């Protein structure tokens, strides 16, 4: 069996490794050089997805920094704690640096006899290769513009600003905290005992002094050095149709969400899990990979993905509305709900495993 993947980003490499582990030959097409990922961006991966990744893709335990607790604050309530998520039996999620995960996957794939990296080709020549399945992770490929352009789009008119900073050693640096400020949510995500990542989403502002804002909202670290800052425009989208014939859209091409919950890559891992389930079913029953996988994948994931991304969007708009009306009653209501253990457990499960219907 042979499939192809368009694009050579983190999603493409993760998907490729999961498929070669199933004995499937994979050709990766891209006209770009192997990405040189910056050393600033980080990913938060939920405990359920970490377990799946380690068992079915690649063991990444040595790169992870565990987060045992999440605390949510509101500037409108003078930085009072609204929510507190803790799982005393296991970490809530783990942080990993993008470039470390990317390079580890790339190194593993470079030794894999089932994988080949090839130069990008057009749609007609791609079809001539008679691949069983084609996974499209490339926004800029002609296939995306031809077959995967119908989306439900939303522009937040905001920019996400990211950085990392060094600080004095903190052995228990395992608590992530997020503050819903009057300008937007800012998250502090621990990477190690001496380093923490920051993501600040600010409405309508591309050029800001992030270093000053980090200092302003920092409440626990003795900062030694703040690294360079990056920014990107915030948009969300949900693809209306997940496939065309034997071509499946994948990764951010399927769904992009606001980063406030750190769930973008988690959604992709859940999609990979579902693809593997469908492929394993075919193999166990002696069936070939065919177009039915595309339709089955869409049926089993599209509704859940849309509901999940809508849930993240609701959280953003909820606190954004409070800022617009200049009233802190909504934050008070969230604080009240946060004291309910059942609601707290439900939100924790939502972040860990997504929506299961």
The string of pLDDT tens digits covering residues 205-256 is 778 899 999 999 998 999 999 999 999 999 999 999 999 999 999 999 999 9
Q: Give residue-wise pLDDT tens across range 258-273.
A: 887 778 899 999 999 9
Q: Residue 178, class by beta-carbon neighbours within 10 Å (0-12 exposed, 13-18 middle, 19+ buried)?
A: buried
Residue 67 domain boundaries: 2-353
Give the position of tokens 């953003």: 316
pLDDT of residue 351 exceeding 80, the answer is: no
pLDDT digits (tens, 9 = 90+) for 87-120: 767 788 999 999 999 999 999 999 999 999 999 9
Answer yes or no: pTM beyond 0.85. Answer: yes
Burial 83-110 (b: 16+ CB within 10 A, else e): bebeeeeebbbbbbbbbbbbbbbbebbe
Instruction: Spell out the alpha helix ranges (H) of 21-166.
Output: 47-56, 98-110, 123-128, 142-147
Please give the tally of structural domains in the chain. 1
- Residue bearing the bigger pLDDT, 314 or 303: 303
Which pLDDT value is given to residue 62? 96
In this prediction, residue 42 carries a pLDDT of 93
Degrees to nearest 5, angle at CA 235 with 230 and 240 = 140
**How confident is residue 83, by pLDDT bands cut at 50, 70 and 90?**
confident
Predicted pLDDT at 74: 85
Q: What is the CATH number of the domain that holds 231?
A: 3.50.50.60
């Amino acid at each position: 069996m042979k499939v192809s993947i368009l694009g050579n980003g983190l999603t493409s490499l993760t998907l490729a490794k999961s498929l070669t582990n199933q004995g499937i030959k994979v050709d990766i097409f891209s006209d770009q050089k192997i990405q040189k990922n910056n050393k600033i961006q980080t990913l938060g991966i939920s405990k359920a997805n970490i377990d799946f990744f380690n068992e079915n893709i690649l063991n990444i335990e040595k790169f992870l920094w565990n987060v045992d607790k999440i605390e949510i604050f509101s500037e409108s309530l003078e930085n009072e704690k609204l929510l507190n998520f803790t799982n005393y039996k296991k970490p809530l999620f783990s942080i990993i640096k993008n470039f470390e995960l990317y390079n580890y996957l790339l190194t593993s794939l470079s030794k894999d006899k089932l994988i080949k990296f090839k130069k990008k080709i057009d749609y007609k020549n791609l079809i001539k290769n008679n691949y069983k399945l084609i996974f499209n992770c490339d926004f800029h490929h002609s296939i995306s513009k031809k077959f995967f352009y119908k989306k439900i789009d939303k522009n937040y008119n905001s920019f996400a600003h990211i950085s990392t900073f060094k600080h004095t050693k903190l052995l228990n640096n395992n608590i992530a905290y997020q503050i819903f400020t009057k300008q937007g949510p800012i998250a502090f995500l621990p990477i190690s005992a001496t380093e923490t990542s920051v993501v600040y989403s600010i409405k309508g502002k591309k050029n800001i002094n992030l270093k000053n804002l980090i200092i302003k909202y920092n409440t626990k670290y003795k900062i030694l050095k703040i690294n360079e800052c990056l920014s990107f425009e915030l948009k969300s989208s949900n693809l209306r149709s997940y496939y065309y014939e034997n071509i499946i859209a994948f990764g951010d091409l399927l769904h992009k969400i606001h980063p406030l919950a750190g769930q973008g890559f988690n959604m992709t891992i859940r999609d990979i899990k579902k693809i593997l389930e469908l492929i394993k079913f075919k193999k166990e029953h002696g069936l070939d990979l065919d177009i039915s996988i595309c339709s089955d994948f869409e049926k089993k994931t599209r509704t859940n993905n849309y509901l999940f991304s809508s849930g993240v969007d609701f959280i953003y708009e909820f606190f954004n509305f409070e800022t617009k009306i200049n009233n802190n009653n909504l934050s008070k209501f969230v604080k009240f709900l946060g004291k309910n253990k059942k609601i707290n457990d439900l939100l924790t499960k939502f972040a860990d495993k997504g929506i299961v219907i």
